[in-house]
Amino acid sequence: MHFAIEVDQLSKRYQVAEAAACYGTFRDVLVSAFTAPVRRLHSAIKGRPPGEGRKTQDFWALKDVSFDVRQGEVLGIIGRNGSGKSTLLKILSRITAPTSGGARVVGRVGSLLEVGTGFHYELSGRDNIYLNGAMLGMRRAEIESRFDEIVEFSQIGGFLDTPVKYYSSGMFMRLAFSVAAHLESEILLVDEVLAVGDFDFQKKCIEKMRDLTRTGRTVLFVSHSMGSVETLCDRALVLSHGKLEAIGAVKDVIDFYLPKEVQTAEATDTPTAASVSWNDPFSAPSNDYVSLHSVELSSTDGVPTTQFELDQPIIIRIAYNNLKLGESYRVRIRLRDQQGNYVLSCGNEYASAGKSDPWTYQPHPLGVFESTCHIPGDLLNDQTYAVSVEIVPISRPSDAGLLCNDVLSFTVTDPAIAERSEPIFLGPIRPRLAWHTKRAG
């Protein structure tokens, strides 16, 4: 038995800095601002990454994952967002190192974690084929011998010598995928590459992928789409919170995984779902710029739920597909109460002070992005709120926004409600305010 990949107790830890301590006074803020460089220098000299002096939390993206992949096998990797799928591929393609454990990979590895890696907008399509090919690990002779094939598959024909920045997003996608699809490696690591582009293009890509998997190479395929995992893969594994939950024949694993998915949505007290996702690009809310992938409500520990206590923060995760190369977006949420009155609307360009969203006003490459909104505890009152999601491309804010009304709803509950006889908190919000009473007479 020849194993192409042997993964042994692979673990990867990230250190996440906890939210900075609350500053009481203006003086504290000033003092902290001036002592920060000293503290950082201190940790730098000690050889620790900056910020480690602050409180950090360990987060295990992968924990003790072991499995083997036979030569020529096509293995699907499924799991929720943040379950460690991408981290696994990144370690196997040597982009990042594991914290402990190891893996043995036999054969030349090609990884497609993104379509169009290293494309340069100023360069022509022809130049980009060579550039991208070299980055994916193709030799010049290889690219030359398959050049015509790549151009033909991409259907960009006459635009071969036009700078890529003038391409439509469809043309760009086709060219980028064509280069990637002609990568000749014994082991192919593929992450969600098919989740972009229009429906026809996806179909073409899946067909190409099916051809690729028939040539006897080993493929690891990460996807949200059960359909493509089932058609492409022999075996599949499920990751959950960084741990290997199941591995086996693709049919069994999907049967195991799907009911669990439904359960997590139904295990809560109310029948309303904590998440909604669109795997079929036809039914997903979309326009020329962006299509919505999924929206999820959860508590701070990542457990999907629609029930929150008064003091619990509410996490809203919005995953969307950027279809327009180089566009940037405002991602916003709107909350309405049961009477339909707006309670608030807020976007990522208006984030908390000092915590600006790194992708605001940044040109997005094509692919899936996930924006997370954190609504602090002790802000909303104990009632039910409906969540609407709006994604507005910054270059054309007036008419091209994608608005999905009332995609999910959640309820805030007051655990102490039984002790009171009457509702004494009026209105849609219920923040805790600073109060001080003194004797004035």
Partner 1 sequence: MSGLSVQADTIGSSASLVCNIGPHQRWSLPDVGLVWRHRELLSVLTWRDIKIRYKQTVLGIVWAILQPTSTMIVFSIFFGRLANINSDGIPYPIFAFAALIPWMFFSNSLTSASNSLLGNSSLITKVYFPRLVIPIASVLSNLVDFALSFVALLGLMLCYGMTPSWSVFLLVIPTLLALVTALGAGFWLSALNLQFRDVRFALPFCLQIWMFLSPIAYSSSLVEGRWRILYGLNPMTGVIECFRWALCNTEANTPPLMIGVSAVMSLIMLVTGAIYFQRMEQNFADLV
Determine the Cα–Cα distance for residues 191 and 77; give it in Å rounded to an integer: 9
Sheet with 275-277, side-by-side order of all strands: 275-277, 290-298, 314-322, 367-375
- Shortest separation between residue 325's beta carbon and partner 1, angstroms: 12
d(CA 54, CA 19): 9
Query: Near partner 1 by CB under 8 A, which window of 91-99, 193-201, 292-300, 377-385?
Result: 91-99
* Least gap, CB of 412 to partner 1 (angstroms): 36
What is the closest distance, in whole angstroms, from the C-beta atom of residue 400 to partner 1 in the complex?
A: 25
Stretch that binds partner 1, among 97-105, 196-204, 327-335, 413-421 (CB under 8 A): 97-105
- Contact mark string toward partner 1, 186..225, x via CB under 8 A: x----------------------------xxx--------
The helix (H) or strand (E) run that includes residue 15 is: strand 3-17
- Site membership for partner 1, residue 131 (CB under 8 A): yes
| Interaction between residue 338 and partner 1 (CB under 8 A) | no
* Minimum distance from residue 322 beta carbon to partner 1 (Å): 14
Indicate whether 344 belongs to the interface with partner 1 (CB under 8 A).
no
Q: Answer whether 278's CB lies under 8 Å from 294's CB.
A: yes
- Listing DSSP states for 250-279 in one string gives HHHHHHHHHHHHHHHHHSSSSSS-SEEE--
Q: Among residues 101, 285, 313, 377, which is the contact residue for partner 1, using CB under 8 A?
A: 101
Q: Which long-range contacts (CB under 8 A, 24 or more apart) does 374-379 make?
A: 374/313, 374/314, 374/315, 375/313, 375/314, 375/315, 375/316, 376/313, 377/308, 377/309, 377/310, 377/311, 377/312, 377/313, 377/314, 378/310, 378/311, 378/430, 378/431, 378/432, 379/429, 379/430, 379/431
Q: Which of 32, 66, 96, 352 binds partner 1 (CB under 8 A)?
A: 96
Task: Check residue 88 for interaction with partner 1 (CB under 8 A).
Answer: no
Taking the least distance from each CB to partner 1, the nearer of 37 and 415 is 37
Binding-site member from 17, 39, 70, 106 for partner 1 (CB under 8 A): 106
Q: Which is nearer to partner 1, 36 or 416 (CB)?
A: 36
Residues 30-59 within binding reach of partner 1 (CB under 8 A): 44, 49-50
> Is 16 near partner 1 (CB under 8 A)?
no
CB 3 within 8 A of CB 70: yes
Nearer to partner 1, 6 or 245 (CB): 6
Q: Please state, in angstroms and rounded to a whole number, the distance separating the CA atoms of residues 282 and 89.
A: 28
- The span from the CA of 382 to the CA of 287, in Å, is 35
Residues that bind partner 1 (CB under 8 A): 14, 44, 49-50, 90-109, 111, 113-114, 117-118, 120, 122-123, 127, 130-131, 134-137, 139-140, 142, 184-186, 215-217, 365
